[in-house]
Structure 1
Amino acid sequence: MKVLITGGAGFIGSTVASACVDAGIVPVVLDSLVTGRREFAEGRPFYEGDIADGALIDRIFEEHPDISAAIHCAALIVVPDSVARPLHYYRENVAKTVALVEHLQRKGCPRLLFSSSASIYAPGADFSVDEESRLDPLSPYARTKLVTELVFKDTAEATSLRVLSLRYFNPIGADPSLRTGLQTPEPTHALGKLIQARAQGIPFRITGVDWPTRDGSGIRDYIHVWDLARAHVAALLRFDEVVPLDGPRSYEVINLGTGEGTTVRELVAAFESVTGSPLPVEAAPPRPGDNAGAFSRTGKAERLLGWRPELSLEQGIADTLTWFDRRASVLGA
């Protein structure tokens, strides 16, 4: 099997590509390198360019006519940045995806896995959600994910395209073989900020301490990126069972989470446990676009994909720390 992975030189896309390689699936990587790293595509067929570039898509399929599916991981993802530049996010995440899908249809690629986000949910009273929970995205970034899902759903109902939208919760960790990890030296998510605070000897800022959670800090479902990558392989292998060619549904949604909610304060405690040293914290206001968060009610992924997460929160923290210790030698920067 051969698959096209857009954004395949980014954090998640490159890890998915590594899991594909390990499973005997050939990943063909397309990435603009706006945030991705060329090093993450080494040893894999790689094309540098834009997902909306029809001539480039034509070239990829001419050189790899046996591509049978696409995994769409390319997107801008920084919530505060999306608040400041909403049109930029709608152009990059939605408009260019529409062009990509048109090109994929022209080339006869009928299977698409979409990297969606659990940030589109309106959490329940206990902050847990499943695939049927109400949707209420609170940032332009999250809304681009929902709008893109609607584009896929409408297109799948009207054409031969079949789509699996995989709604991620909060990926942490790195490829256990350390082939890839977070490409940016200063990530904006909580674990990245914890690592920066520890390295700089400054307090970690908990952005938002008055949420209606058990300790006032935001709650998240932290899933190891390798578990996410394994889920993509399972989705590829079971795609035609989950979304059959002549079945009643051409579009399906599956959550990828651990089923456990972890507050930011609990994340700090786990981080201290892994590092073996305390870390001072200080309260700060929520960032633009922040919300209390959510965690997944699991079941559908195991039922449809035969997949369940295997790696713990502490393992994700440890692998992230190991990656940052090795990052400069891997990336040279």
Structure 2
Amino acid sequence: MKVLITGGGGFIGSTIASRCADAGIDVVILDNLVTGRIEFAQRFPFYRGDIADEALVDTIFVEHPDIEATVHCAALIVVGDSVTSPVAYYDNNVVKALTLISSLLRNGCTRFLFSSSAAVYASDDGGCVEERSVIAPQSPYARSKAHFESMLADIVAATNLSAVSLRYFNPVGTDPELRSGLQSARPTHALGKLFEAHTTGTPFAVAGTDWPTRDGSGVRDYVHVWDLADAHIRALERFDRITADSTRTTVVNLGSGRGTTVWELVRAFEEVLGHAVVVRTSSRRPGDTAGAYASNTLAAQLLGWVPSRTLEAGIEDTARWLAVRESRLTWSTFHDAHLHGHHV
């Protein structure tokens, strides 16, 4: 099998690419490197460009006519940024993604695996959510994911496209072999901010302490990114079977199945690292929610997938990656642009 991974130079896309390679699945990567890293993409046939560049997508399929499926990971993902720059988020996550779908249909690639988000749920109490739970996104980022899912269902109904939307919860950790990891030196999610506080000696902010949860802080479901990548392999292997019903579109949660509050995350971090973190509290941020954790029942039924790695393992693996990150991200763009005849 050969797959196209859009956004394959990013944290999750590159991890999926490595897991595919380990499983004997050939990978082609398309990434504009706005947030992705060429160091993560260059191990594979790599095309630098935008998902809305129809001529480039056509070229990819001319040169790789045996691509059987697309894993769409190319998206803007920072909730706070989406609040201040909603046009950019709707443009990239909806408009350009629709152009990509048109290109895929034109080239006869009708299996589409979509990186969606648990942010689409009405996460108002920190509880468990199923795929049929209420959809009520609270930020432009989350709404862009929900809008695209709705459009995807309409497209599937009218064309020969089949689609699986995987609603990610909160990925942590890294590829066990450290082939890639968090590409940003200043990640915006809670675990990244904890590591920043740990290394700089600055306080870690617990944003919101009045949520309706067991200790007042927000709840998140931290799923190890290698478990997440494994779910994609299973979805690709079972794709035709799980989209065989009349709708040909399926939505599946991917989380650890365990809710962790921010205070509990801090304690787990301190235990793993053996180092106390200075904490301060702050008010809720725009777009924040109380959070939720996943019911993985459908993932187990359809994909045969049960996550196996703990939050503590995710913290340990993130620490291993951050220890080598700078040495892994030292390639020059000019040098990489001329490797292996890849298109940049």
Amino acid at match of 2:100: L
Map 1:1-333 → 2, pairs under 5 A: 1-123=1-123, 125=125, 127-244=127-244, 247-332=245-330
1:252 counterpart SS class: strand
The separation in 2 between residues aligned to 1:103 and 1:242, in whole angstroms, is 24
Q: Tell me the number of residue pairs that the alignment of Structure 1 and Structure 2 aligns.
A: 331
The separation in 2 between residues aligned to 1:110 and 1:277, in whole angstroms, is 50
Distance 1:126 1:204, change over 3 A: closer
The separation in 2 between residues aligned to 1:269 and 1:233, in whole angstroms, is 33
Q: Is the 8 A contact 1:231 1:307 kept in 2?
A: yes
The separation in 2 between residues aligned to 1:129 and 1:202, in whole angstroms, is 34
Give a deviation string over 1:262-312, Cα, whole Å, max 9, x none.
000000000001001211211011111111111011210010001110100
1:205 counterpart SS class: strand
Amino acid at match of 2:303: L
1:253 counterpart SS class: strand
The separation in 2 between residues aligned to 1:149 and 1:331, in whole angstroms, is 34
Runs of 4+ in 1 over 4 A off after TM superposition: none
The alpha-carbon deviation at position 18 of structure 1 amounts to 0.3
TM-score, normalised via structure 1 length: 0.98
Larger CA deviation: 104-113 vs 200-209: 200-209
The separation in 2 between residues aligned to 1:233 and 1:240, in whole angstroms, is 13
The separation in 1 between residues aligned to 2:124 and 2:287, in whole angstroms, is 19
Give a deviation string over 1:94-122, Cα, whole Å, max 9, x none.
00001000000000001000000000001
2:328 counterpart SS class: helix
Larger CA deviation: 3-12 vs 275-284: 275-284
The alpha-carbon deviation at position 332 of structure 1 amounts to 2.2
Amino acid at match of 1:268: V
The separation in 1 between residues aligned to 2:46 and 2:208, in whole angstroms, is 41
Give a deviation string over 1:157-190, Cα, whole Å, max 9, x none.
1110000000000001110100000000000000
TM-score, normalised via structure 2 length: 0.95
Structure 2 gaps of 5+ residues are 332-344
The alpha-carbon deviation at position 125 of structure 1 amounts to 5.0
The alpha-carbon deviation at position 124 of structure 1 amounts to 6.6
The separation in 1 between residues aligned to 2:34 and 2:267, in whole angstroms, is 34
Amino acid at match of 1:62: V
Amino acid at match of 1:117: S
Give a deviation string over 1:11-55, Cα, whole Å, max 9, x none.
000000000000000110000000000000122000000000010
Larger CA deviation: 141-150 vs 283-292: 283-292
The separation in 2 between residues aligned to 1:277 and 1:49, in whole angstroms, is 42
The alpha-carbon deviation at position 123 of structure 1 amounts to 3.1
Q: Is the 8 A contact 1:123 1:133 kept in 2?
A: no
RMSD: 1.0
Q: Is the 8 A contact 1:162 1:243 kept in 2?
A: yes
1:277 counterpart SS class: coil
Percent of aligned pairs sharing the same letter: 58
Structure 1 gaps of 5+ residues are none
2:77 counterpart SS class: coil
The separation in 1 between residues aligned to 2:43 and 2:10, in whole angstroms, is 15
The separation in 1 between residues aligned to 2:272 and 2:182, in whole angstroms, is 19
